[in-house]
Structure 1
Amino acid sequence: MKKSQIAVLIVLAVLYLVVLCGLGFAVYSTTTRTPDQPQAATLPTPSLTPSPPPTPTEETYNPVFEPGECPFDPPADVTVECGYVIVPEARAGDLDDTIRLAVAVYHSASDNPAPDPVIYLTGGPGGQDVAQSDYYYDKFAAQILNRDIIFFDQRGTGLSEPMLDCPEIKELYLQNQMHAIPASEREPRYTETLMACRDRLVSEGANLAAYTSTASAADVNDIAGALGYERLNLYGISYGTRLALTVMRDFPTLVRSAVLDSVLPVEARSYLEGDNTIEQALNVLFAGCAADPKCHAAYPDLETVFYELVEQLNSAPVTVEALSETRPYTTTVDGIEFKSAIVWGLYVSSLIPIVPQAIYDVRDGDYTMLGYTMSLPAWAYEDISLGMMASVNCHEQVFTITPEEIDASLAQSHQTASVGLNDVYGSGQELFSICEQWGAAPFDPLDDQPVVSDIPALIISGEYDPTTPPSYGQQAAANLSHSHMFEIPGQGHAPSVGEASECVLSIVAAFLDAPTGDPYRTCIANLESPQFVVPSESATGEEITFEPFVNQEYEIKGIVPSGWMDVGLSFYNRHTHPLDIVQIGMQTSLADKEEWLDWLSTQFQRVGLDGAPQFAGEREANGFIWTLYTAAYKGNPVDLALADADDTTMLVVLLSNNDEHAALYERVFVPVVDALLPLE
C-alpha cells in the first residue's frame, strides 16, 4: 500500500489541485502528449442536433425566494439582496423535502440595466460563493456595469442548507501531514472517517445521490424563476463551466450567453486524462523558460533537473515546514508531492514566474517555496464542501469509467505518473467501492456526452493551466457552434480572476454586450509571457530608489525603497512575487538592545531566528552609534542594526535571500540605517 492509499477518495486527489478560492477541479493519470497537441482521441464532430434535455417529471412545484440578511457587509452604494431559494432536494422524489440555496443579488446601479443578469457559477465542485461574493463583485463590477450579478452557493455548499461538509476528513488530512498517523493505520482511518461523515450526513437527512450537476443546473433554472428573471448569462469558472454546460444542455431557452473560463467539458474523463493535462503544462513551462534568455541562463536544463528531483525525492524525501490555517507543522515531501507542489505553482498565475526558481531552490536544499506550496491543499480544505465534492465526482467522473480503465491508465503512466489517484486509493476497484459506499447517484449516460449547442459562448483558457488546459477549451468549442475561444498567454487556471483579469474581463464585458458579434480581443496582444524571477537580478540590476516615510506609532522617520509594499508594523516587503521574502523593517522600543535581541531570537516571524544574533561591528550615522548583528531565519540571512535614542532603542531589520544578500545589504540596509531618525 502506498502512503495515502485510499480513501481520501476525491478528497486528497482533487484537493492537490484546488485553488484557494475553491475554483479548482482535479485531473490525473496517463499517457504522454506534447503541449500543442489537441486533447487525445477524439474531439467530437458537432452534431446538427442540440443535446437533449432530461425528461421532465410530471409533478410540479414552485421555487420560492425568502429574503434574509446578507452574511457580509455589502459594498457602499450597491443594492444587494440576500436570502434563500427553496427547491426540492430530489425533483424526482418527495417535492416537499426541500433544501435552501443561499443567494446574493448585486443590483446594477445603471439607470437602464439589461433585463438578463449574470449568474456566477463557482468551481470545486464544492466551492462556496456567497460569503465571499463581495470579492468577486469587486473584480467584476468595473466591467459588468449594466447587469445584475447573482451569486449563489450550489446545493450542499457554503451557506446553503444542508451543507455537505466533512470536517473529519480535513482534520485527519492535517494529522496525516503532521505524521501523527502510523502508515499501517492510514487506509482504515481514512475509510472509517469518510464513512463516518457519510453516516452523519445521512442521519441529518441528506440524500447524497441528489447532489449532481444535473440537479444544480435545475437549481439555476429555479433561482432565475424565483427571482423573476426570464433569461440569464452564465459565467462559470473551472467546475462551474461543467455546470454551465449542463444548464445549456438542460435549459437552453434560459441562457442568453455563456462565459466559460477554464473549461471542463462534460465528457472529459478527468481521472484518465490528468497526466496528459499536467504534462502539457509542464512542457509549456520548460519551453517557456528555455525561450527566455534570462530564465534559461539561470535555470539551464530545467526539465532534466525537475525529473531528476522527482526520482531523488522518491528515494529520499525531505522535511519541510508548512502552515495550515490554524498552526504550523512539518511534513515530508517525496517526488510525487514535489510534483504536485510544482503543479500548484502553474495553477496559480501569480506563482508561475517563480516556479523555475522553486525547482532550483529544491535542488540546492532551500525548501522555503516548497513549504509554502505544500500548505495550499490544507488551506483549500477550509473552503470546500468535501461531501458535495464526493457526490458529484463519484457520479460524474468515477462512474463514467471502469476500474479496469483506471488500472490500465495507471499502468501506462510515465513521467507524470502517480500525481494523484494511484497514490490515494491504490486501484480502480478501491475507488469504485468507496463511491458505491458513499451513496452517490449511479451513472447517467447523459453526463458522458458532449454538450452540443448554438448558444453564444466565450471560452477562456490559460496557457499554463495544468487542470483545464487549452485543449479542453478546443474540445468544448468544437461542439459550440457560436463560440469564440481565447488562450491567455502566461496565465494558469481561471485567467478572468487572475493576474490578467483586467484584460480578460474587458473581453467578457464586450461579449456580454454583443454575444453574437466578434469579441474584443486587442488587449491580449499586450499580455506578456511570464517574467520569470531570476534571484539576483532585482538586487544587482535595476536602480533602487527611495522615498521618505514617517511612522507616528514608533516615532521615527527615514526612507524606504520605492514601490515596496507596506505590510504593517513599519515593515516593507519588496513583493516582486507572492513568495518574495525580502523585507526591511524599522521600529523602536523601550526595551534595551539585549532585550531586543532575546525577543528576536524567539519571536521573529512568530517562530524566532535560527540562532542567537552574532556581533558584526558598529556604524555611525546622524550622531547615532549603530551596533550591527547577523543572524538567519530558516536559512536566509537577517541583518540587524540597533541604536540607543534617548529612552528608546531603534531597530532596523533586513531579511533577504542568500544570493542577494550582499547586494541588498549595501543597496538597501545601509541607506535605511543611515537615514533613520527619531521624530523631533
Structure 2
Amino acid sequence: MTRCWRTTLLAGVLGLGLTGAGWAIQDAPEEAPPGEDSASSEAESPEPAGESAGEELPQQAVEAVLDDPEAALSAFAEPPAPTSLSTLAEGDTVPVVCPFRDTIDYEPGEISCGLLAVRENRETETSRIIQLLYVKIHARGPEEGDAGDEDGEAGEDTFTPREDPIAYLTGGPGVGVPSYVERFKDHAATETRDLYILQQRGITQSGDFCPLYNAEEPALNVGQTPAEQEAFTLARLERCFDRAVAEGVDLSAYNTVENARDVRVLREALGYETWNVWGISYGSHLGQMLTQVDPEGIRALVIDAIVPNDLENLMRIHRWADRVLDHITSTCEADTACARAYPDLRERAYAAMASLQADPVIVTVSDTEVFPGGQVAVGGAAIAFAPFSMMYEQSTYPGMAAVLNALVRAAERRDETVFTAIALGAGGDLAGGDFSAGMNAAISCNDGYTWQNARVIAEDLSEVPGLAGLIGSVEGAEASQALCERYGMGLRDRSEYAPVSFDGPALIVNGAWDPITPPDLARQIMPGFSNGQYLEVPFAGHGPTRSDECTADIMVAFFDDPSAELDTSCVETANSAPDFAIPVTSHFAARAIVAMEEDRPALIGLLAWGGISAMILGMALLVFPVAFVLRRIDGTPSANTGGARAASVLASVLGIGGLAVLGYAAYATSEISPILLIAGFAGPAHLGAWAILLSGLAGLAALLLVAGARLSSGRMAFGTLAGIVITALAALSLAVFAAFADLTPF
C-alpha cells in the first residue's frame, strides 16, 4: 500500500505504537508497578492496551507537523528504546502488526496481534527466551436481529464482549495462524467472545527453524520407489535437525508439555483468571495436556477430532485409510446411480493401488527446478490419499467417489495426463506456506508419535495388506525413531502422557467420518472426563466444531452455560450421507493443468479456438434479432432461406447456452473441490455438452438449408448469406472444439 509523504511522516513521528496516540493494536496488559504481580493486579476481564485509546491527535499537532516537520519533530520526546530479547522475561508481550494483514480482509480493531516471550526449555536454567505470535479476534457483536440485542440491532457502541474469552489451540502440529484467523473471524464462537490464538513455538513467525524444509535439496523430491521416497524423507528430516542444532535451537523443548505451559503463560500475561479452551486435532491433545498443566485456568473445555494424550492407537494410519475407502465405496454401493456409474469400486481401487505399487507411473515434467531430472514417480498412495484428504471437510464429500474412480481409471489405463497433473499440483508450494514441517517433526519425536508408529506399524500393515508399502514401512518407522534419539529427542516421561483425568466441564466432539482421528479415539478418552459430555456428529469430517454450523452453535451454547443440558437434536437432521456427484467424464481440466506448465502456447491456441467460435455466435445472437427488427421497420420482406436463418439462430442459442452451462458446471465442480475437476464436470454439465453438440448439428443443418435455398431461388442478399454461413461454421467449429477438448457428453 502506497502512502503520501505526509502520511509516512506522521507514521514516523507517532511511531505507530504510542498508547496516548491510540495506535496500539495489541492486547497485552499494562505493566504493573514494580514489585506488584501483573496478573493479580489486572481485573478479571482486562481491557487490552490501546482499545481505550481511540482519541485522535489534536488538530494543532497535526498541522504543526505538516507546516514545519523539523520543528515538530524536535518537540517530541525521544522515542522509547527498542525492546531487546536479552531484556525480556517470560510473559512479556510486544504489540506487532499482524503478519497476514495483506492477505486477510479485516478492519483495524477487529483483529490484533502481539508477541509473547517464553522460555524455550523451562527444564533448563540457561534456556533462551523466544517469542511466539498470538492473535486476538475481537468479538464482533450479535448479528442484526439476533436475540440478545434489545433493539434487534448489533449496536457497535453498546456491545460488550462476554468476560470469558476463548483460547483456541491450533492443530497439525505445525499449522500457522492465518488459516484459523480466516475461518474464525466470522465463526459463531467470535460473535460474543474474544478469541485468542497462540501460534505455537517453531511455527513461521514463532521461530520456524526449517522454513525451507521442502524446498531445500530438490533432488530429494524425485524418489522413484516408495523405499527411495522414504529414505529421501529421512534425509530431509536429518538436514532440518542438523540446521536447527547448529543455530542453537533446543529441539527437546518442542513438545506438548511446553506448548501447554506456553498457553498458561499467555493466559497469565493477559490477566485472565480463567478462560474457555477449544482445541481440534493436535489441539485436542494440547487441550488434554493443559488439563494437567493449567487445570485452574480452564473455565470450560471443548476438544474435537480427538488425539488421545497417550497417543494409543492414533498411528494406525493404514487402518484409517482402509476405513476411509470403505466409507466411500459402501456408500456408493448403496446409491443406485453411483453404483451404476462406478461398479466394483473398492475391488478396482485395491487392484489399481497394487498395480501402481508394482509399477509406478513415471511422468515427465519440464519443471526441473522442483523435480531435477524431470521425472516423477506416481504410486498407489495417490489413489489412497486423494479421497482421504477430501474426507476432512463435509463440503467436499460429494466428489469423493468420482475422484477415487477417476484415479482408479487413470491407473487402469496408465493415463499419464492425470498423473502428470497430480505431480505438478504436488510441487506447487514446496515452501510450506503456513505449515512448519520442522516443528511437526520435533513434536512427533519428543511426544512419541514416531515411537508409537514404530511400535504398531507391523501390526497395522498386516491388518490392511492392500496398503502395505504405500505410506511407510517397518524399517522406515524404526529409522525415524533412531534419528529422533540421535538428536536428543527420545521419549519424554510417559507419565506426562498418561490418559488424563479432568473433573471440569468438558465437551468431547468427533466427526463420525473423521479420516485421521476417528470416533474410536474419542470414546477411548471419555472415562477420564467425569464431568464430560460426548457428541458424535454423523457423517462429519475432521473438526465439526469449526466447519459444521449446527455443531458450532452447540459448542457456543456449552460455553454460555457449561452446566446446562445441551440440545443436540440438530446434528441428526443437519448431517446425512453424501449425495455423490456423477460428473460428465472429461480430461479437459487435467490437460489444461499440464498444458499450463508444459505447453502454454498450445493451451492458449486451444482456448482461442473455442473463444473465437463463441464470440461469433454471441455476435450472431445480437445481429439476427436487430436485422429482424430493422426489416419490420423498413417493411422489407425477409429473404427465403429455407429455414437456414432459424437454424443459425438456434445454433447460436445452443452454443452460447451450452458454454454458459458448462462454465457454471465447472464453477460448481470446483466449489465442491478443485481436485474433482480431474474426474470431469458435475452439475448440469451434460446439458451443456449436449447443447454444444446440438449447436454443431444445427449449424450443419443451416449450411444444408441455405445451400438448398440458394439452389432453388438462385438469389440471396450477400449479407444474409454471409451471416448464415459464418454463424453455421462457428457452431460447427465450437462443436469440433468441444470434441477435441473432451467436453462432449459421451
The yes-or-no answer on 1:222 pairing with 2:249 is no
Among candidates 362, 378, 386, match of residue 333 of structure 1 = 378
Among candidates 156, 161, 171, match of residue 202 of structure 2 = 156
Over 3 Å counting, the alpha-carbon distance change for 1:77 and 1:126 in structure 2 is closer
The yes-or-no answer on 1:516 pairing with 2:550 is no
The yes-or-no answer on 1:65 pairing with 2:111 is no
Distance in 2, matches of 1:133 and 1:336, equals 28
Among candidates 174, 179, 203, match of residue 126 of structure 1 = 174
Residue correspondences, number: 532
Among candidates 280, 284, 288, match of residue 237 of structure 1 = 280
Q: TM-score, normalised by structure 1?
A: 0.68
Match of 1:11 in 2: none
Instruction: Verify the 8 A CA contact 1:358 1:369 in the aligned structure 2.
Output: no
Among candidates 324, 327, 332, match of residue 281 of structure 1 = 324
Match of 1:463 in 2: 512
Instruction: Verify the 8 A CA contact 2:305 2:522 in the aligned structure 1.
Output: yes
Match of 1:431 in 2: 480
Distance in 2, matches of 1:403 and 1:412, equals 15
Distance in 2, matches of 1:360 and 1:583, equals 14
In terms of fraction of residues, the more strand-rich structure is 1
Counting aligned pairs with the same residue, the percent is 25
Instruction: Verify the 8 A CA contact 1:323 1:372 in the aligned structure 2.
Output: no
Match of 2:58 in 1: none
Distance in 2, matches of 1:76 and 1:516, equals 36
Q: Deviations over 1:611-664 (max 9, x none)?
A: xxx999768798652545899xxxxxx8577xxxxxxxxxxx799866xx238x
Over 3 Å counting, the alpha-carbon distance change for 1:112 and 1:655 in structure 2 is farther
Instruction: Verify the 8 A CA contact 1:269 1:397 in the aligned structure 2.
Output: no
Distance in 2, matches of 1:402 and 1:298, equals 38
Match of 1:534 in 2: 582
Distance in 1, matches of 2:577 and 2:405, equals 20
Distance in 1, matches of 2:309 and 2:366, equals 35
The yes-or-no answer on 1:316 pairing with 2:347 is no
Match of 1:415 in 2: 466
Q: How far 1:171 moved relative to its partner?
A: 4.2
Instruction: Verify the 8 A CA contact 1:565 1:573 in the aligned structure 2.
Output: no
Q: How far 1:210 moved relative to its partner?
A: 0.4
Distance in 2, matches of 1:537 and 1:167, equals 38
Q: TM-score, normalised by structure 2?
A: 0.62
Match of 1:196 in 2: 239
Q: Deviations over 1:20-39 (max 9, x none)?
A: xxxxxxxxxxxxxxxxxxxx
Over 3 Å counting, the alpha-carbon distance change for 1:441 and 1:427 in structure 2 is closer
Q: CA RMSD in A?
A: 4.2
Over 3 Å counting, the alpha-carbon distance change for 1:572 and 1:134 in structure 2 is same
Report the residue type matching 2:167 in the other structure.
I
Instruction: Verify the 8 A CA contact 2:184 2:190 in the aligned structure 1.
Output: no
Over 3 Å counting, the alpha-carbon distance change for 1:575 and 1:81 in structure 2 is closer
Q: Deviations over 1:314-342 (max 9, x none)?
A: 23322468999x97986332224422333
Among candidates 244, 248, 258, match of residue 205 of structure 1 = 248
Question: Secondary structure at 1:485's aligned position in 2?
Answer: strand
Instruction: Verify the 8 A CA contact 2:309 2:499 in the aligned structure 1.
Output: yes
Distance in 2, matches of 1:562 and 1:486, equals 46
Over 3 Å counting, the alpha-carbon distance change for 1:410 and 1:203 in structure 2 is same
Match of 2:634 in 1: none
Among candidates 93, 101, 115, match of residue 163 of structure 2 = 115
Match of 2:709 in 1: none
The yes-or-no answer on 1:525 pairing with 2:572 is yes
Match of 2:210 in 1: 165
Q: How far 1:78 moved relative to its partner?
A: 4.1
Q: Deviations over 1:36-61 (max 9, x none)?
A: xxxxxxxxxxxxxxxxxxxxxxxx96
Report the residue type matching 2:572 in the other structure.
A
Over 3 Å counting, the alpha-carbon distance change for 1:190 and 1:146 in structure 2 is closer
Match of 2:442 in 1: 391
Report the residue type matching 1:383 in the other structure.
D
Instruction: Verify the 8 A CA contact 1:564 1:572 in the aligned structure 2.
Output: no
Instruction: Verify the 8 A CA contact 1:353 1:531 in the aligned structure 2.
Output: yes
Alignment of 1:38-117 (within 5 A): 62-73=90-101, 75-76=106-107, 78-94=109-125, 97-110=128-141, 111-117=159-165
Over 3 Å counting, the alpha-carbon distance change for 1:560 and 1:439 in structure 2 is farther
Bigger radius of gyration: 2
Question: Secondary structure at 2:197's aligned position in 1?
Answer: strand
Among candidates 192, 195, 198, match of residue 146 of structure 1 = 192
Match of 1:669 in 2: none
Question: Secondary structure at 2:391's aligned position in 1?
Answer: helix
Q: Deviations over 1:494-525 (max 9, x none)?
A: 33344xx2222222222221222222323222
Report the residue type matching 1:487 in the other structure.
E
Distance in 2, matches of 1:233 and 1:565, equals 47
What are the ranges of 5 or more consecutive residues in structure 2 without an aligned counterpart?
A: 1-87, 142-158, 587-614, 623-652, 683-695, 703-719
Instruction: Verify the 8 A CA contact 1:461 1:494 in the aligned structure 2.
Output: yes
The yes-or-no answer on 1:662 pairing with 2:745 is yes
Q: Deviations over 1:106-163 (max 9, x none)?
A: 222442322221111111111111x3443023342x4531111112210110211x21
Report the residue type matching 1:250 in the other structure.
V
Match of 1:135 in 2: 182
Question: Secondary structure at 2:348's aligned position in 1?
Answer: helix
Distance in 2, matches of 1:133 and 1:340, equals 23
Distance in 2, matches of 1:202 and 1:426, equals 25
Q: How far 1:269 moved relative to its partner?
A: 3.4
Report the residue type matching 1:72 in the other structure.
F
Question: Secondary structure at 1:662's aligned position in 2?
Answer: coil
Match of 1:19 in 2: none
Q: How far 1:98 moved relative to its partner?
A: 0.5
Q: Deviations over 1:205-228 (max 9, x none)?
A: 210000100000000001111112
The yes-or-no answer on 1:578 pairing with 2:673 is yes
Match of 1:28 in 2: none
Over 3 Å counting, the alpha-carbon distance change for 1:246 and 1:75 in structure 2 is same
Q: Deviations over 1:238-289 (max 9, x none)?
A: 1111111111222111111222221111122356522232333332222222
Please, which moves more after superposition, 149-158 or 65-74?
65-74
Structure ranking higher on relative contact order (CA contacts 8 Å, 6+ apart): 1
Instruction: Verify the 8 A CA contact 2:165 2:195 in the aligned structure 1.
Output: yes
In terms of fraction of residues, the more helix-rich structure is 2
Question: Secondary structure at 1:259's aligned position in 2?
Answer: strand
Question: Secondary structure at 2:503's aligned position in 1?
Answer: coil
Among candidates 354, 362, 366, match of residue 407 of structure 2 = 362
Q: How far 1:452 moved relative to its partner?
A: 1.7
Q: How far 1:91 moved relative to its partner?
A: 1.0
Match of 1:484 in 2: 533
Distance in 2, matches of 1:128 and 1:272, equals 23
Instruction: Verify the 8 A CA contact 1:482 1:516 in the aligned structure 2.
Output: no
Q: Deviations over 1:429-475 (max 9, x none)?
A: 32221111233253321243111212222222222222101111212
Over 3 Å counting, the alpha-carbon distance change for 1:190 and 1:283 in structure 2 is closer
What are the ranges of 5 or more consecutive residues in structure 1 without an aligned counterpart?
A: 1-59, 539-550, 585-613, 632-637, 642-652, 664-680
